[in-house]
């Protein structure tokens, strides 16, 4: 059975597939190339529902809260930085979603907004994942001294899946990640 941080790390691998395409989209748009707006919509869907609702949901509502209870301070430490970066990601995604209708109508300005935010989002999120994999999750693993800790975290991850995500949504989004990633192989 996977440990709680292994679950989150495997979600990072799915998110990285979409980050690669998102970075490519940002670069293509900054070179004034046309990108299918539907692909941008799919990336925003994945980032909003999988990266944010599902994955950051598990981190913010479950893992980080548990780490705080174990004595890791929220402010002035890695948890505070992670929370700030989740917010930053939300603002990049919001800017992309808001520019999308004008982009569909051919606005060059909207293409620039999406280019900038997609590149910033991709860079920030790949760094963010590296920090979690190499620093934050190591701290969390050291705090997981009892089998009960793992059971508590896994049960609450399940709750996020059931209550916030709904049935079949996790699988739909994992398939969507592969579809988005396949664009780079074409």
- Residue closer to Fe ion, measured from CB, 5 or 115: 5
Min. distance of Cβ 64 from Fe ion in angstroms? 9
- Residue closer to Fe ion, measured from CB, 75 or 148: 75
Kindly list the residues in this chain that would bind Fe ion in the complex (CB under 5 A): 59, 82, 132
Q: Which helix (H) or strand (E) holds 142?
A: helix 137-143
Min. distance of Cβ 12 from Fe ion in angstroms? 6
- Residue closer to Fe ion, measured from CB, 42 or 132: 132
Min. distance of Cβ 124 from Fe ion in angstroms? 11
Q: Which residue has the tokens 């990285």?
A: 16
Distance between first and last Cα of the chain: 36
- Residue closer to Fe ion, measured from CB, 10 or 182: 10
User: Cα(82)–Cα(84) distance, rounded to whole angstroms?
Assistant: 5
Min. distance of Cβ 130 from Fe ion in angstroms? 10
How far are the Cα atoms of 17, 18, 37, 185 from residue 13, in angstroms, in the given order?
A: 7, 9, 24, 17
DSSP 72: -
DSSP codes of every residue in 28-60: HHHTT----HHHHHHHHHHIIIIIIIIIIHIII
- Residue closer to Fe ion, measured from CB, 82 or 99: 82
Min. distance of Cβ 52 from Fe ion in angstroms? 9
Which tokens hold the place of 7? 């679950």
């Amino acid at each position: 059975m996977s440990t709680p941080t292994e679950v989150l790390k495997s979600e990072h691998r799915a998110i990285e597939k979409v980050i690669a395409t998102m970075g490519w989209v940002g670069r293509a748009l900054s070179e004034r190339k046309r990108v299918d707006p539907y692909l941008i919509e799919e990336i925003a869907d994945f980032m909003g529902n999988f990266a944010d609702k599902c994955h950051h949901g598990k981190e913010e509502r479950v893992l980080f809260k548990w780490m705080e209870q174990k004595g890791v301070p929220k402010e002035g430490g890695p948890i505070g930085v992670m929370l700030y970066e989740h917010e930053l990601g939300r603002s990049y995604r919001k800017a992309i979603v808001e520019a999308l209708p004008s982009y569909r109508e051919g606005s060059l300005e909207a293409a620039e907004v999406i280019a900038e935010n997609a590149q910033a989002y991709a860079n920030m999120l790949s760094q963010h994942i590296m920090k979690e994999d190499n620093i934050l999750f190591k701290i969390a693993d050291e705090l997981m001294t009892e089998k009960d800790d793992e059971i508590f975290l896994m049960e609450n991850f399940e709750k996020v899946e059931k209550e916030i995500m709904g049935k079949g949504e996790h699988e739909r989004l994992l398939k969507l990640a592969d579809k988005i990633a396949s664009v780079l192989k074409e």
